[in-house]
Amino acid sequence: MASSVAGTVSHSLHGDVLDQLSINTIRTLSMDAVEAAKSGHPGTPMALAPVAYTVWRDFLRFDPANPAWPNRDRFVLSCGHASMLLYSLIHLAGIRRGGAGEAGHDRPAVSLEDIKSFRQFDSVCAGHPEQHLTAGIETTTGPLGQGCGNSVGMAIASRWLAAHYNQPDQQLFDYDTYVLCSDGDLMEGVSHEAASIAGHLKLANLCWIYDDNSITIEGKTLLAFSEDVALRFKGLGWRVEHVADANDTPALKTALKAFKQESEKPTLIIVKSVIGYGAPNKAGSHEAHGAPLGAEDIKGAKASYGWPIDAQFLVPAEVPLHFTATLGIRGEHAYNAWKKTLAAHATAHPLLAAELQDMLLGRLPTGWDKNIPLFPADPKGLASRVSSGKVLQAVSAAVPWFLGGSADLSPSTMTHVTGAGDYAPGSPAGRNFHFGIREHGMAAACNGMALSGLRPYCATFFVFFDYLKPALRLSAIGQIGVLYILTHDSIGLGEDGPTHQPIEQLASARAVPGLSVFRPGDANEVAEAYRVVMQRPDRPAVFVLSRQNLPTLDRTKFAAATGVAKGAYVLLDPPSGKPDCILIGTGSELQLCIDASVRLAELGVAARVVSMPCWDLFAEQDALYRESVLPMNVTARVACEAAAGFGWEKWIGSHGRFVGMNGFGASAPAPVLYKHFGICVEAIVEAAQQQLL
């Protein structure tokens, strides 16, 4: 073994010796990278190297030369702290930065130099895996449980794509999703929600491999975790397999073959491992979980592998060749066969093939927005959740891969699409999802669906934004265009009281970089918000929608709603065109600003009304446009919103006034609440006048 590692043995190595050499290369690369960075988690990559290697060598259908191949199997490292395990695999497998004929194909996704710069600034080997940085990473993980949730969306997408595009003689989609997860992943609530969804939907194309090493950062898992995981998952409708030793690769193969043969249930494989396996002084020590091993312990581990103890970042030539001969050749053959099937599919079904091509390129169909309704002026108007539902119907009819559902609230969120069918175990072509009361699992699954080429939306009440925020944050980090439709946006929902009245959620949402937050002021602003969002597939968005009716503005008297595309626009100017003050409103409070401008005019004050449905879009505009809407020389400004005022100082300045909430709401009809909390025309007028004294 030692001589083969040193490179003195020819490429004729085979069988168990070559397998062990490959496994130990993964381990030593992981140890060396963490030691060089003086930061990271070596223990789990060392322990799980045989598990990941077995999946990649014998089961994973993946072409390293075409890492974005749509029908590739997905491999998700939910325990993202073990990122060096994944980076080592990507390097050894020879995954390219781009597919054949694409930019980056001539460069490895992860070079040995990249591994040497693990956890350093601007490295593709970030501390936790980030899918938008590095080819071969399927999703951004790190917060435990998120990869588990994403994988459910990936498995859903495989079934949906197959139901829509496969033909009896042309199978374009049938990929499986493999997940490595840890004790921490399974403790997090999101994984339980996700597992419940997967069991209910009978996602037999989903396999979680659970590293049962009985260690977390604080010590033995028995400090806080003593449940029967197998029994729990059986209760959730999963098949459960057991492997007593992570180093027993034949047993791993047997369990994975059982997964491949399962047709009714997702599979959980429980694998016992010892963290930091192979380092004599660290075996079973939780310190190896979150810190470098140290030079002496690394030497001890390498000695136990028959490895040159002073060699660093050593990759024996046989190992990449072995990955090519197994994973690489298998993936290449599968990809080439798929390309032939795709060509035959295009010839036999040109319209369906054109639709599929649009989806794969992230391109909207021609004329996708032509049937978005134009809402006539109406003083009574519509709740923005209702107008959203009408627009949703039109967009869904035009974009077949636009799909989603709610956390048991579709009658309230207006997100059920007529005629689209329900996604269920027996009907995977349906586009209406019933996620159950699982907001976090819903959002995490939608991230996985989006990463598979679909354009998902999910919905709940805005106050439950907090329940899905961790997954939404990863939508933003990963540039994943999930649409979050969040209704019942303020104290305007009335009698349900403060537990259901979102106050601070708007500020929280607006604080997320890379997230567009829309609070439209009437039905046509809702329509324009959809137009904007659908054309930005790499940016998640939140729609904050009302329960109560909002008047539909007469656009012959007010500026066109197309101004939504710039985030904020001048809705109404005084006849003189020179405002004394500016009133800024969103959502249901936009009408209050309009009414206040009329009252101010009667008092001889010229007020401009600005609609600002999306802060971040407005911030993206050039300085000239921003000045045209909010001129610096007009410092008398009032913003009105039935929410906390945190952040509004950016737009109203240090002299401006905010009319809104500074506490929680109460249980009463909406008009009573607005009057009680002083969110009214009189308060806006008074705030403007005080600044003009």
Q: Is 570 a residue whose pLDDT tops 80? A: yes
Q: Is 285 a residue whose pLDDT tops 50? A: no
Tokens of 360: 């794969």
Active site residue 620: no
Q: Is 246 a residue whose pLDDT tops 50? A: yes
Q: Is 223 a residue whose pLDDT tops 50? A: yes
Q: Report, as an integer, the average pLDDT of 67-95.
A: 97
Residue 278's pLDDT is 38
Taking a C-beta distance cutoff of 8 angstroms, is the pair 539, 503 a contact?
A: no
Q: How many whole angstroms separate alpha carbon 172 and alpha carbon 179?
A: 22
Residue 222's pLDDT is 83
- Catalytic member of 318, 439, 525, 528: 439
We find that the CATH architecture of domain 378-551 is 3-Layer(aba) Sandwich (3.40)
Q: Is 276 a residue whose pLDDT tops 70? A: no
Taking a C-beta distance cutoff of 8 angstroms, is the pair 127, 134 a contact?
A: no
The per-residue pLDDT of the chain, averaged, comes to 94
pTM, whole model, 2 decimals? 0.95
Q: How many whole angstroms separate alpha carbon 607 and alpha carbon 583?
A: 7
Q: Do domains 378-551 and 570-692 have the same CATH topology?
A: yes
The residue written with tokens 């130990």 in the block is 24
Tokens of 414: 């207006």
Q: Report, as an integer, the average pLDDT of 181-201.
A: 97
Phi and psi at residue 293, to the nearest 5° = -75, -30
Residue 284's pLDDT is 39
What are the pLDDT digits (tens) for 614-645? 999 999 999 999 999 999 999 999 999 999 99
Per the CATH hierarchy, to which homologous superfamily does domain 2-335 belong? Thiamin diphosphate (ThDP)-binding fold, Pyr/PP domains (3.40.50.970)
Instruction: Please report, for the chain, the start and end positions of each structural domain, with discontinuous segments joined by +.
Output: 2-335, 378-551, 570-692
What are the pLDDT digits (tens) for 589-598? 999 999 999 9
Which H or E run includes 332?
helix 329-348
Q: Is 279 a residue whose pLDDT tops 60? A: no
**Using a CB cutoff of 8 Å and minimum separation of 24, what contacts does 668-675 make?**
668/494, 668/495, 669/494, 669/495, 670/491, 670/492, 670/493, 670/494, 670/548, 673/491, 673/492, 673/494, 674/491, 674/492, 674/642
Q: Is 283 a residue whose pLDDT tops 90? A: no
Cβ count within 10 A of residue 339: 12
- 245: helix, coil or strand? coil
Q: How far is CA 64 from CA 86, 112, 135, in A?
A: 14, 16, 9
Residue 4's pLDDT is 44
With bands split at pLDDT 50, 70 and 90, how would you rate the model's confidence at 483? very high
Phi and psi at residue 500, to the nearest 5° = -115, 0
- Residue positions counted in the chain: 693
What are the pLDDT digits (tens) for 366-415? 999 999 999 999 999 999 999 999 999 999 999 999 999 999 999 999 99
Q: For the sheet containing 239-243, what is the strand order?
A: 74-77, 177-182, 206-212, 267-272, 239-243
Q: Report, as an integer, the average pLDDT of 152-157.
A: 98
570-692 belongs to CATH 3.20.20.140: no
